[in-house]
Structure 1
């Protein structure tokens, strides 16, 4: 069993930097917020978008208009940026790590796959800008609700809670990718143009504070029936994750435990990624017109060879134990017409766009992660039997026997392996895990010839640095 060893490389030097045009519309903030409000939300949560041009006061005169603004945010999360199934972390941090091989020719993607990243990579700039667009929109909603004279405090609460959750979630992803970042809580573009990057610990502190407040405001249960709008459990799921990332083991154990007590695992691995799966906490609904199912299935399922963009790596396939039901049910394979090449692909989502029925939604948070969070927290707290019990809940569902790990280091290594086989190609979990556990070099240096220890952070987008000299110095390892 692999023993966990820390990388020697750490980023500890504080950097004073400035946030500027990362929003992409800093000079025209409210205009672009209105564009966010008024586009592409009807099919997502079945709320009609505003019909007329809006001004800041009328956006917040009634609940339905704010709900429409939030619906547009979720639409943009699904369609663009880091969380999207077509441009996001699931595929692109999969090729950055040991999960996926890349067969395409996109220069930006090849830089990620080959660990030759440039600060001019437009994909990284798009992630940065899209995240701060959503953060700005969240802040606009929070401010508008607080200033509203017509929406009651009771009606404001779940709407503000959703905006706080999105703000915390986007910051939590940014800090994991780029390191020190600004934490933006205002719509004042003059103030935003002067804000500095904060130490990672402060970013987490702000995210956890936002999520704690969100929990107190959000609906206790899912009111949509299809879990496409954040409610208390969604904010708690992210809280548990951030407590784990910040090594607050007691709070990670307790918060994950609340969710485990309140919700159930889907007992059959075949059903985990269906839209009515019991263990889903939050998912993004396809629009039901041109894409009735998920981007994940549409890009991961290999229909023809050649023609594939991604395939599961040998390193990932070799991680599965014999008789693991996840290997049987969550992966597929395609063989070329000449019979010479067989490639394996992620098959968690099975229904591609051409399917006539909507069978799957893109799952962002699910209960299995909470079992693994609590297992890891318990291992660090010395609660070996409790950690084993949580780990075995995931293993047994996959048709595997109980873990044999008893020592803390062996147990942590077993949990890391289980996270790999359970959460592969889901929202960059593999990257965040090997990075936070300090084993990125140990895992990737044998597989990635260009790997450097400084690759634990992505470069700050060059366009931001050019606009903003206070963003200097660039993250180590990038020109």
Structure 2
């Protein structure tokens, strides 16, 4: 029997968040009323530990605007060419979201918060996985618990390996992140990027089998569809086009696209296109957990107007010119800039809004890209055109493979702007980045492809406390990836 007192601390921390800040997230017995024996020896106890992992993931270990799924999307969006941090309002407070050295400071808020949150979720999942095979109970319930724990763990490792090392095709033999696969917190060296991806795919494949037939209570929970979505993202990053297409197709054929009326309604109410999202009550609302808050400049009457993120002038006036998805207005506070109206809240009444995490349109684009890269131009064009027609956008007609791939990548920018795919596309496509005042940005910035500024340094305290860890090269010493 494992030492419960030494391994349950993280789990109880996460589960306690359920009772203190989100009683309605799951109607379960409070963690504080469970004995250690109950926690690890029955379905109810392990389910509460699992919900602790969910809550830690949902709130980014109390760092919503940095380490939650939506916080990571925010980081990704402002790391690209099309969105920018409003330097007139936030000044230097958000330098860690630009390419200032705070971004990759080994003691900085972003590097530490994301690393810590992901490994806390992983540890919660590992505790569940360490005991789930030994508990009595309904076979389907046990399979559902195990499948969800594997899916949560795999998503955390996917976040970590993409943020703390270069992309798979470039760096698969380089150090990735430590693979902590049990609740025994022994020091681990960094597994290679390839080893981390092997673990991610293995976890998700097993989760897919376990979650077959699992009927989740609502879209807060990971089911087989969420697993297919994650597998499509993972295989796209690995450039395994066949499997990326396969899993993206499973979502595309199951989740119809939202209408343009729903698209323009603000991404605040669940619809048929949402694969994963989060309901909110008054006890859930954080200052910075909503894209509506981040992009709001007073135009939407949101309870919190953070005035943080703007679309660049170039994106508005050139990339999106004439596209129905260009949901912006002249910025009401800053002359010559724009403000987004893509993300809205439900105004002045709780629960303010529901928060979307994963939606099917991304999978239409993954399937189209994967098909195009395999030379199946007809399928790629058909899937791409389905999305474009639904949006009332200009329809791509090219029959050239290279031109079609370029069109699909542009469509990703148009469909998913502000939704967190930007940095991850820069990384996997090994692209340079340029921002300029001429395009409406606040700074002139040129970053070469495969810049070390794209990836984070491992938190200093982790390197100090675990002598097996090798630190990433600092961008000042190694500006770009070194084979």
Of the three residues 102, 126, 132, the one matched with 2:86 is 102
CA deviation profile, 1:411-452 (whole Å, cap 9, x unmatched): 2221111111211222x311101210111x155699753635
Q: 1:67 to 1:271 in 2, by over 3 A?
A: farther
| Cα distance in 2 for residues equivalent to 1:347 and 1:83 | 25
| Cα distance in 2 for residues equivalent to 1:244 and 1:35 | 34
Match of 1:31 in 2: 9
1:139 aligns with 2:113: no
Match of 1:382 in 2: 375
1:238 aligns with 2:255: no
Match of 1:4 in 2: none
| Cα distance in 1 for residues equivalent to 2:40 and 2:337 | 52
**Contact 1:253–1:373 under 8 Å retained in 2:** yes
Match of 2:455 in 1: 457
**Contact 2:76–2:424 under 8 Å retained in 1:** no
1:60 aligns with 2:40: yes
SS at match of 2:358: strand
1:424-443 correspondence runs (5 A) = 424-426=417-419, 428-439=420-431, 441-443=432-434
Of the three residues 202, 208, 232, the one matched with 1:215 is 208
- TM norm structure 2: 0.83
SS at match of 2:294: helix
Match of 1:22 in 2: none
**Cα RMSD over matched residues?**
2.9
Match of 2:97 in 1: 112
1:27-426 correspondence runs (5 A) = 28-40=6-18, 42-50=22-30, 52-80=32-60, 84=64, 88-98=71-81, 99-103=83-87, 104-105=89-90, 109-116=94-101, 117-148=104-135, 150-179=136-165, 180-190=176-186, 193=187, 195-218=188-211, 220=213, 222-224=215-217, 226-268=218-260, 269-271=263-265, 273-289=267-283, 291=285, 295-303=290-298, 308-318=307-317, 320-328=319-327, 331-336=328-333, 341=335, 343-351=337-345, 355-358=348-351, 360-426=353-419
Match of 1:8 in 2: none
SS at match of 2:38: helix
Q: 1:114 to 1:443 in 2, by over 3 A?
A: closer
**Contact 2:66–2:114 under 8 Å retained in 1:** no
**Contact 2:298–2:332 under 8 Å retained in 1:** no
**Contact 1:37–1:49 under 8 Å retained in 2:** no
Q: 1:200 to 1:286 in 2, by over 3 A?
A: same
- Point out where structure 1 has 5 or more consecutive residues left out of the alignment: 1-25
CA deviation profile, 1:206-257 (whole Å, cap 9, x unmatched): 1011001001111536432x31111110001100111111111111111111
Q: 1:323 to 1:451 in 2, by over 3 A?
A: closer
Higher mean alpha-carbon deviation, 248-257 vs 308-317, is at 308-317
Structure with more contact order per residue of length (Cα contacts < 8 Å, sep ≥ 6): 1
SS at match of 1:40: helix
| Cα distance in 2 for residues equivalent to 1:134 and 1:365 | 19
**Contact 1:135–1:170 under 8 Å retained in 2:** yes
User: How far does residue 365 in structure 1 lie from its aligned partner after superposition?
Assistant: 1.2
**Contact 1:47–1:71 under 8 Å retained in 2:** no
Q: 1:46 to 1:187 in 2, by over 3 A?
A: closer
| Cα distance in 2 for residues equivalent to 1:221 and 1:315 | 45
| Cα distance in 2 for residues equivalent to 1:83 and 1:175 | 19
Q: 1:30 to 1:60 in 2, by over 3 A?
A: closer
- Point out where structure 2 has 5 or more consecutive residues left out of the alignment: 166-175, 300-304, 438-442, 478-483
User: How far does residue 279 in structure 1 lie from its aligned partner after superposition?
Assistant: 0.6
CA deviation profile, 1:278-337 (whole Å, cap 9, x unmatched): 110111222344629962212221128x97222222243245443312113xx444313x
Q: 1:166 to 1:282 in 2, by over 3 A?
A: same
